[in-house]
A and B are shown apart, each in its own frame.
Chain A
Amino acid sequence: MDLLQRFALGEIDAFETLVRQFQGDIYAWIVRIVRDPGIAEDLTVEALWRIYRARHRFRLDGNFSSWVRRIATNLALDHLRSRRPEQSLLEEPGAPQPDHLLQREIREKIQQAFRRLPAKLQVAATLALVEGQPYGEIADALGTSVGAVKLRVFRAVRILRKQLNHLGVGP
């Protein structure tokens, strides 16, 4: 019996092997969306727990990696929906600060406008524009089509452009 079959039957050893294999990927995906390592770790644990609880719904002929990523994306989306737009995006100590490229005030205004985007648009814009992830992968993770992701990015750009113009920032 292979690993995924054993997992679907609820074998904890099989699940442990899968956790060790996929936890890094899940964390990397979530942290790209929520942009906070502490929250991303918590959400990764929550996602792994949900994956185990939903093991009966996993289709053995399906792609485990895609299924897992979809659960992780939904969780990250829920987090963005519950987060207040005033909360700042964490700046990692020691991370290179692009002060020479944009003034701090302008950066803050852009962050502010970005956080005000609806969660679905924010996820699409983060993954496509900031992280440069392929549209196909984003669509798969969001459980939608490539066209729908492109539309979300388009809408996000349009809203950001309007908000930044309103704030007096022209990128």
Chain B
Amino acid sequence: MTEHDERQIREALQQSLPPVKTELHRDLWPAVLHKLDVRPVRVPWYDWALIGLSTTMFLFFPQLILVFAYHL
């Protein structure tokens, strides 16, 4: 491939892709502020404690998984 190829492709792309206007016509701060206000869902500490406790129990007593599954 030569510089000639690149020039031809460059011209073809410039003629084929519609030009875009790069000026921003509105202030985006309100939208950003709104997005910042939407807080991510927080998992409460007692849920984490429960998950930790369950995992520890299943590690030490794996047969409990079957009991647990039966009652689900």
Residues of A within 8 A of B (CB): 12, 16, 19-20, 23-24, 27-28, 31-32, 35, 37, 41, 44-46, 48-49, 52, 89-92, 95-98, 101-102, 106-107, 110-111, 114, 125-126, 129-130, 153-154, 157-158, 160-161, 164, 171
Q: Please, which residue of chain A has its CB at the minimum distance from the CB of B29?
A: A19
Are the CB atoms of A107 and B16 closer together than 8 Å? Answer: yes
Give 12 new A-B contacts, CB below 8 A, not counting A154-B6, A157-B1, A158-B1. Answer: A19-B29, A32-B20, A35-B20, A45-B31, A49-B35, A92-B19, A92-B21, A95-B19, A129-B10, A157-B9, A160-B9, A161-B1
Report, nearest first, the 3 A-B pairs whose CB atoms are least far apart.
Answer: A171-B12, A28-B22, A110-B16
Which chain B positions have C-beta within 8 A of A126? 17
A98 to B15, CA, bound (A): 6
Are the CB atoms of B18 and A92 closer together than 8 Å? Answer: yes
A111 to B29, CA, bound (A): 34
Are the CB atoms of A32 and B22 closer together than 8 Å? Answer: yes
Indicate which residue in B13, B18, B33, B35 contacts A129 across the interface (CB closer than 8 Å): B13
A106 to B32, CA, bound (A): 40
Which chain A positions have C-beta within 8 A of B31? 45
A12 to B36, CA, bound (A): 10
Are the CB atoms of B28 and A111 closer together than 8 Å? Answer: no
A92 → B minimal CB distance (Å): 6
Answer yes or no: B47 CB below 8 A from chain A CBs.
Answer: no
Residues of B within 8 A of A (CB): 1, 5-6, 8-24, 26-29, 31-33, 35-36
Which chain A positions have C-beta within 8 A of B8? 171
A130 to B17, CA, bound (A): 8
Which chain B positions have C-beta within 8 A of A130? 10, 13-14, 17
Are the CB atoms of A48 and B32 closer together than 8 Å? Answer: yes
Q: Is the interface of A mostly helix, strand, loop or mixed?
A: helix
A129 to B31, CA, bound (A): 33
Are the CB atoms of A28 and B24 closer together than 8 Å? Answer: yes
Indicate which residue in A19, A45, A91, A125 contacts B13 across the interface (CB closer than 8 Å): A125
Indicate which residue in A28, A95, A102, A125 contacts B18 across the interface (CB closer than 8 Å): A95
A92 to B29, CA, bound (A): 25
Offer 24 A-B interface pairs, CB within 8 angstroms, sorted by A: A19-B32, A20-B29, A23-B29, A28-B22, A28-B24, A31-B20, A31-B21, A31-B22, A89-B18, A95-B18, A96-B19, A97-B18, A98-B15, A98-B16, A107-B16, A114-B16, A129-B6, A129-B9, A130-B10, A153-B6, A154-B1, A157-B6, A160-B9, A171-B9
